[in-house]
């Protein structure tokens, strides 16, 4: 009975989605360039707070996104209304809703909960992304600009494939071997010696922790520039002599990518709005979004001058239930100063302030806290900081298992503001959509995540359907090499190798790379090869079969 009811509701969902899509006959003229900007985990409360923060501080009356907000997006995982970054961005760039943790991969079927009908025969198949499709079919330049480590969920969604977003050891090499023209952000800890050698061989300049070299570089070729072992610091905490702003990285990326006469695809992520929301850090949410909005302004300025660029700005999901207004405090009579006066005095996020306070003695806590927040700590607030389990005070007997200092700082800072949070996790509300198209052809009203993918596909000018490209680039090895002798060598950690033999010929195909070896000779591929252990399958280009075809057959293709 339960299965019947669930199936009925699934049918209603599918019918509503299908009807809505059929009504949307939007005409979208293709443009040369696509810039997708994602403020990770940004709820509407963050937008409102950021706008008022700027107004109060007399920095601006509007956000860069404001003139271009055209609707909302219903974003979800395939079997859950509240998504995480992996399946939500994955759907934006592939058109296929996925399960939690999935990176640009066809999800495993969950019939009782799936909100869109799936094809179980495609489970675990990597799905080609807009970045890959535009690079492969249109020979366009491609880039990623983020404020986290480069194999994190959102950038990984655009340029790699796996069922588990945590498997950086599989995602990072794919991003490297996808031969992107620009990658800026963090993540030096995830660059292997093999990746460095690949950069050397394919002409990629790799800059580590060197802002001057980044700013000065005007050479040809591909450019990676990473400025931290993992995520970059919050914008409010960053040392600007060492860390570029998101706006600066975006400007540099556009400058380089726009040199390609065929056009480009660029994804820019304001990654750490999500981090701040998870921490319930109000000033972190606000200042991270404003830093992101400045990057949006850079993209829009270019697009308007260029006249051949589509800009799409959309969060991947909501987070934390951030509100301007909190239980227990007046709201209808709270002035702009009441709401934003205190938070505007905060000079560090909770994370940035924690880093400072953990290094000082107890008698320095009060003056330092005052310096960065203008808050005079009460005895109760002081004791809360002192009891933080990661603060090593002089009297070890007083150390207990309380919360970390960062969460203690957040609790104190938020108690002096009018901001509220409902959770420390993601939330399921619709997110805003802002779009610029040179001909004003933008989606209006509520779009699903699939609708938004279809819009970007149309704006890209791609001709081959995404599923056709997927089947061309990510076919099962058992189908590509049917009738041949093959085996999988798993002796090398993290890099299984498919070995295919025919007569005296041997083809070796390493996983998570875009090179293969035919009789010892290296051959470069146009896309990466993906291995999935769940079904012990390599997914690779069908054209690899050509190496074992007779000459006459090859010439006839």
For the stretch 302-356, pLDDT in tens is 999 999 999 999 999 999 999 999 999 999 999 999 999 999 999 999 999 999 9
| In-domain check, residue 337 | no
- Assigned domain for 500 exists: yes
Residue where a domain stops, chosen among 378, 396, 416? 416
Asked if residue 550 and residue 407 are part of one domain, the reply reads no
Alpha helix ranges (H) inside 307-404: 336-340, 350-357, 365-373, 379-386
Residues 276 and 292: their CA atoms lie apart, in Å, by 13
CATH classification of the domain holding 531: 3.30.457.10
Banded model confidence at residue 301, pLDDT cuts 50, 70, 90: very high
Residues 457 and 535 grouped into a single domain: no
Indicate the number of domains in the chain.
3
Query: pLDDT per residue over 134-155, tens digit each?
Result: 999 999 999 999 999 999 999 9
CA 405, 406, 410 angle in degrees (round to 5)? 115
- Which residues form the domain of 362? 343-416
Per residue in 411-425, is it b (16+ CB within 10 Å) or e — as a string? ebbbeebbbbbeeee
State the DSSP code for 103. B
Does residue 400 belong to any structural domain of this protein?
A: yes
Q: What is the CATH number of the domain that holds 464?
A: 3.40.720.10
- pLDDT > 70 fraction of the chain, expressed in percent and rounded: 92
Among the listed residues 240, 194, 233, 193, the one whose alpha carbon sits nearest the alpha carbon of residue 214:
240
Is 372 a member of any domain? yes
Do 64 and 155 belong together in one domain?
yes
Residues 296 and 389 in one domain: no
Is 335 a member of any domain? no
Mean pLDDT of the chain: 92
Domain annotation covers residue 354:
yes
pLDDT-derived band of residue 556, with 50, 70 and 90 as boundaries? Answer: very low
Looking at the structure, do residues 379 and 431 belong to the same domain, yes or no? no
451 shares its domain with 485 = no
Q: Are residues 274 and 353 in the same domain?
A: no
Quickly tell me which residue has 């953990």 as its tokens. Answer: 358
Residue 16, pLDDT > 70, answer no
Q: Is residue 300 part of a domain?
A: yes
User: Quick one: 121 and 171 in the same domain?
Assistant: yes
Q: Say what the pLDDT of residue 22 is.
A: 35
DSSP structure class, residue 230: S
Is 333 part of any domain?
A: no
* 151/74 same-domain check: yes
Q: Encoding tokens for residue 529?
A: 């090869």
Retrieve residue 170's tokens: 């599989």
Residues 449 and 515 in one domain: no
- Same domain flag for 52 and 64: yes
3 state SS for 239-278: CCCCCCCHHHHHHHHHHHHCCCCCCEEEEEEECHHHHHHH
Angle at 24 between CA 157 and CA 97, to 5 degrees: 25
Cα–Cα nearest to 444, from 158, 143, 70? 70
Does residue 52 sit in the same domain as residue 112? yes
């Amino acid at each position: 009975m339960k299965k019947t009811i669930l199936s009925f509701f699934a049918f209603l969902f599918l019918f509503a989605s299908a009807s809505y899509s059929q009504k949307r006959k939007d005409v979208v003229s293709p443009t040369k360039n696509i810039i997708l900007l994602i403020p990770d985990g940004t709820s509407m409360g963050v937008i409102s707070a950021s706008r008022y923060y700027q107004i109060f501080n007399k920095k601006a009356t509007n956000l860069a996104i404001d003139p271009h907000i055209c609707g909302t997006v219903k974003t979800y995982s395939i079997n859950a209304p509240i998504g995480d970054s992996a399946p939500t961005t994955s759907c934006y760039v592939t058109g296929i809703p996925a399960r939690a943790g999935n990176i640009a991969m066809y999800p495993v079927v969950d019939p009782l909960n799936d909100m869109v009908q799936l094809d179980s025969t495609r489970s675990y198949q990597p799905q080609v992304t807009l970045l890959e499709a535009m690079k492969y079919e249109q020979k366009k330049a491609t880039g990623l600009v983020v404020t986290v480590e480069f194999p994190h969920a959102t950038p990984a969604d655009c340029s790699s494939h796996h069922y588990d977003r945590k498997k950086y050891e599989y995602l990072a090499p794919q991003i490297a071997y996808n031969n992107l023209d620009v990658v800026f952000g963090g993540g030096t800890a995830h660059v292997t010696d093999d990746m460095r050698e690949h950069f050397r061989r394919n002409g990629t300049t790799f800059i580590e922790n060197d802002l001057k070299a980044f700013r000065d570089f005007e050479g040809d070729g591909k450019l990676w520039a990473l400025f931290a072992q993992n995520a970059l610091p919050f914008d409010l905490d960053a040392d600007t002599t060492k860390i570029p702003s998101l706006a600066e990285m975006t400007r540099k990326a556009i400058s380089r990518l726009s040199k390609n006469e065929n056009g480009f695809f660029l994804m820019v992520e304001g990654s750490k709005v999500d981090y701040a929301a998870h921490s319930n850090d109000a000033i972190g949410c606000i200042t991270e979004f404003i830093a992101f909005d400045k990057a949006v302004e850079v993209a829009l300025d270019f697009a308007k001058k260029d006249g051949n660029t589509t800009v799409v700005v959309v969060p991947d999901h909501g987070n934390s239930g951030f509100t301007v207004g909190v239980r227990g405090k007046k709201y209808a009579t709270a002035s702009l100063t009441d709401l934003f006066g205190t938070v505007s005095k905060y000079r560090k996020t909770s994370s940035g302030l924690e880093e400072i306070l953990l290094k000082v003695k107890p008698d320095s806590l009060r003056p330092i806290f005052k310096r960065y927040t203008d808050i005079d700590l009460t005895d109760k607030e002081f004791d809360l900081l002192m009891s933080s389990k990661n603060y090593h005070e002089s009297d070890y007997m007083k150390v207990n298992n309380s919360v970390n200092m960062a969460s203690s700082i957040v609790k104190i800072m938020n108690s002096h503001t009018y901001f509220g949070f409902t959770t420390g996790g993601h939330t399921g509300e619709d997110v805003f959509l802002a779009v610029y198209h040179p001909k004003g052809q933008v989606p209006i009203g509520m779009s699903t995540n699939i609708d938004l993918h279809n819009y970007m596909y149309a704006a890209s000018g791609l001709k081959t359907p995404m599923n056709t490209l997927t089947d061309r680039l990510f076919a099962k090895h058992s189908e590509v090499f049917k009738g041949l002798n093959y085996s999988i060598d798993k002796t090398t950690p993290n890099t299984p190798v498919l070995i295919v033999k025919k007569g005296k010929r041997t083809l070796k195909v390493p996983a998570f790379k875009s090179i293969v070896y035919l009789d010892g000779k290296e051959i470069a591929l146009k896309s990466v090869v993906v291995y999935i252990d769940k079904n012990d399958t390599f997914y690779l280009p069908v054209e690899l079969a050509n190496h074992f075809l007779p000459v006459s057959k090859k010439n006839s293709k």
